[in-house]
Chains A and B, each alone.
Chain A
């Protein structure tokens, strides 16, 4: 790494080397049976240079061939964007715990047991369900150094556990599932299995739903599948910079219901999306995005922030080994004080959305979402009466979140990167056959 940086400094004004290496062990169950045990080692180094004021970029898996890497970066710098930012010099990073050595020592046997236990519990409830399960542990090391003396170095452990079941009866297909992840080893399957059993119970009966606007409750999973993507795009500093975000010029203004609070938080201990610094070496911070319904911030990396005449929020991310770009870490919606049952009890006729399919297809920039209710329940006179089928919903995130009836007290993690309670909205357009 130091050698690459030294070579790069000979031909460029500034240089930064980023190296990630990971060891991952996924154990996979298919059709109720253990199918694969894998082990994946990978590493790559990314070199970013500023040469003639322009950004050059190249990556390689082979550290030995540093001259080729430097040459490739030099070639791309001829055409690269003009660098508007300065690489960070040596920074003090917040202490954020993201490594638990116990993850490394979880045995394959223990991982298999967890998967088997999950599947057994789900099939104990519904014998003819077909389950897939995954148990995975990973250790990731990040190392960043740059020509201004900046450097960062940390190790992260990630353990994840999940199960998905599909139940096919005649032409009827039911999909259920739940997953969890942490920087600690997960040793308990109860919560995950319990969530799946809850879905199976609620979906036992079938119910029909009329085609008309109806009150709707998004469960945490439902909200994550339907509403989060348009918000992630809208709060991305790059979308704002391009003038494509519908909230880009509304900083400080109320856009949503004043019960709504949202922030991005990579500083929580032992969460998979947490880290002491982002992929450019900028210290992690908690960034409020919506406070009492008003827009308070957007997410930035160095270059985008410089172009927008603001500061990086420490959200520079190198997805798939590309140049750093703004990306959320963990989106967190503040819980309210209404229980899920209270929301349902309040509804005369309505819909609970547990999982929406195909929500990301429409005009995401405009906040439109529409999709098939892959898993959802009909509410009648304050009670869930059964699962709905062949039901589409469509709406607009900005209209929907302008008026929220209640926010749940049941906040939880959905996947590794979203923490949200249930959300109760007065009306959403529902179409059913």
Chain B
């Protein structure tokens, strides 16, 4: 038994003796390694290890939360969390019912990428970096690799005791090309749930990325205006996550009357063909888990079915406050933070159309690929696509400078009139909410077609 396990076991024995409405504790042991390049040369390489824990208590509707990596004064910290909750509480505690779970079988499920020698990781990155630097007109490259492996123990006053592990690998590459005063860049984001081999053998993709940055230098700028656009699975997946998914997070909904109105169950958001899901139960994806950070089993939650809003994402608290069922979406980025409502693997379900059918009847439109950046403010979104092509008379035509898509989230969802049959999950993303960035998630979609989308040059 590790020290952390021993401490957790001791606390589990006594945790239900405290006088609170609810109390839980989480302990983590993690290892990470990272390598980054800025330009030709390696910029930093390092390893880190961390051990820490937290205690969260609820009294009369308010939370006390204490995090620490000094385990010596644990009883005092538990009492502090309770005192804080007592101090703040002045209403009734509301938490949706949850079954006590005792399960340690989800430990040792993932491969640990951190133990792979740094030499092997660096070798792969050197190969990718070489490919980028062998591309003519390329000015510089940015490469960031990171991996982590962590063991998490969760226990609460209901009698739950859960051990789980989580591994994560991310690799982001950016190639920057310049000519005269022009600068263009192209990027590639890869990731996996700890499986290093999934980011190996991507030499061809890296080469194409570098080539794209160069090609963009001579590509024309799009004429701004309304177009029929076709989004590739990466960009459509990010759209589903950023523009719609965050609105489904109930901590944002339940205390905000205006959002509550917009997000009324049963309301139509799109055509009959549109189905959007958040699903933490798919094995091997970066957003997946067996139990969330409140010990609630992961679920597959339909957010939109046949165009209508049918569900949303909950913690135990938001579920109780909205009188709905918990969905197991309470997640914390690490032991320093309490869990909040988050997405997991969010995707648009595949429809029937092939890519050729989607673009076949477009006289003049734009095919947009890849995510470059963007922001949303509830109803409005602005996204930059990393790659764009004209569609002319049903065929892909000349490449364009990267474009910006902008519009109203709800109108845009309504304007989706074609959904492809080629669902792809993108493992390269990370999600930010408040201070908790980046949380491993994945998102996905088939190709989708949107009518009347406002497109501007970047």
From B43, B49, B68, B140, contact of A62 by CB (8 A): B49
Interface size on A, residues (CB 8 A): 52
What 0/1 readout, one digit per residue, does chain A (74-105) give for beta carbons within 8 Å of chain B? 01101111000000000000000000000000
Are the CB atoms of A30 and B42 closer together than 8 Å? Answer: no
- Min CB distance B122 to A, Å, is 5
In Å, the complex CA distance between A287 and B210 comes to: 38
For the complex, is A35 an interface residue (Cβ under 8 Å from B)?
yes
Are the CB atoms of A34 and B62 closer together than 8 Å? Answer: yes
B51: chain A residues within 8 A (beta carbon): 61-62
Are the CB atoms of B44 and A43 closer together than 8 Å? Answer: no
**Which of B82-90, B214-222, B241-249, B302-310 lies at the interface?**
B82-90
Most buried by A among B48, B85, B374: B48
Q: Find the B residue at minimum CB distance from A171.
A: B379
A75: chain B residues within 8 A (beta carbon): 47, 117-118
In Å, the complex CA distance between A30 and B257 comes to: 14
A244: chain B residues within 8 A (beta carbon): 140
**Which of A206-214, A254-262, A357-365 lies at the interface?**
A357-365
For the complex, is B41 an interface residue (Cβ under 8 Å from A)?
yes
Are the CB atoms of A357 and B46 closer together than 8 Å? Answer: no
Given contacts A35-B63, A38-B64, contact A79 B48 (CB under 8 A): no
Given contacts A75-B47, A75-B118, A372-B382, contact A39 B80 (CB under 8 A): yes
- Min CB distance B225 to A, Å, is 14
Q: Find the B residue at minimum CB distance from A361.
A: B373
Scan residues 38-65 of chain A and give those whose CB is less than 8 A from a CB of chain B.
38-44, 57-62, 65
What 0/1 readout, one digit per residue, does chain B (334-360) give for beta carbons within 8 Å of chain A? 001010000000000000000000000
- Min CB distance A25 to B, Å, is 9
For the complex, is A5 an interface residue (Cβ under 8 Å from B)?
no
Given contacts A40-B336, A79-B122, A173-B377, contact A59 B46 (CB under 8 A): yes
B375: chain A residues within 8 A (beta carbon): 357-358, 361, 372
Are the CB atoms of B42 and A374 closer together than 8 Å? Answer: no
Are the CB atoms of B379 and A322 closer together than 8 Å? Answer: no
From B41, B47, B336, contact of A72 by CB (8 A): B47
The dominant DSSP class at the A interface is: mixed
For the complex, is A68 an interface residue (Cβ under 8 Å from B)?
yes
What 0/1 readout, one digit per residue, does chain B (227-249) give for beta carbons within 8 Å of chain A? 00000000000000000000000
Q: Which range holds the interface residue count of chain B?
A: 35 or more
For the complex, is B378 an interface residue (Cβ under 8 Å from A)?
yes
Given contacts A37-B87, A361-B384, contact A58 B62 (CB under 8 A): no
In Å, the complex CA distance between A34 and B60 comes to: 12
For the complex, is A321 an interface residue (Cβ under 8 Å from B)?
yes
Are the CB atoms of A357 and B255 closer together than 8 Å? Answer: no
In Å, the complex CA distance between A36 and B380 comes to: 30
A112: chain B residues within 8 A (beta carbon): 87-88
Are the CB atoms of B87 and A366 closer together than 8 Å? Answer: no
Are the CB atoms of A41 and B69 closer together than 8 Å? Answer: yes
For the complex, is A106 an interface residue (Cβ under 8 Å from B)?
no
Are the CB atoms of A31 and B62 closer together than 8 Å? Answer: no
Are the CB atoms of B42 and A81 closer together than 8 Å? Answer: yes
B52: chain A residues within 8 A (beta carbon): 42, 61
29 intermolecular pairs with C-beta atoms under 8 Å apart: A30-B255, A37-B63, A37-B85, A38-B64, A38-B65, A42-B336, A43-B70, A59-B46, A59-B47, A59-B49, A60-B49, A60-B50, A62-B69, A72-B47, A75-B117, A76-B45, A78-B118, A78-B119, A79-B42, A79-B122, A81-B41, A242-B39, A321-B48, A323-B44, A323-B46, A358-B382, A361-B374, A365-B183, A372-B382
What 7 A-B pairs have minimum CB-CB distances, sorted nearest first? A37-B84, A31-B255, A72-B47, A168-B258, A57-B46, A358-B375, A41-B68
Identify 14 new A-B residue pairs, CB closer than 8 A, beyond the known A38-B84, A61-B50, A79-B35. A37-B84, A39-B67, A40-B336, A41-B70, A72-B47, A78-B119, A81-B41, A108-B84, A108-B87, A173-B378, A362-B458, A366-B183, A372-B377, A372-B382
